[in-house]
Amino acid sequence: MPHRPILQNTVRLLCLLTSVSTSLNRILPLLLNDNGEQLTVEMPGQLISNDIDVMAAGIRHGLGIGRLFEPVHRLQPDREKLIPVMERFWKTYPAVYVYYPKSAGKTNRVKVLLDFLLNRTES
């Protein structure tokens, strides 16, 4: 990795790691963006979780720095206390879209879910 003092210092921080719920049980590396170049930072973690609420609680309780997507951060009642770090290196993720089979659109379950999602995104 090229010499990047700010990134080298980050590795020394206690980090809260996000796991992926798959059969591989792997840990998501910290992905950063340095002027268009993706950087992958592997580091030991204080807490490993795939639960957003657990991650936010770990950050609140000072266990280390953790990752929250911006929409999740905005929903936190104490979001002003959760200070963003290294914003210059944040990776931008594409939007998430919801798809369903055409035949499923006729079921009440799908209609209820779509109405809920539409109401949440419009507010």
The pLDDT tens digits for 60-109 are: 988 888 888 888 898 899 999 998 888 999 888 888 787 877 776 567 88
pTM above 0.75, yes or no: no
Please report, rounded to a whole number, the percentage of residues in the chain having pLDDT higher than 70: 76
Residue 41, pLDDT above cutoff 90: no
Neighbours of 91 (CB within 10 A): 11
**H helical segments located in 11-123:** 52-60, 70-75, 108-122
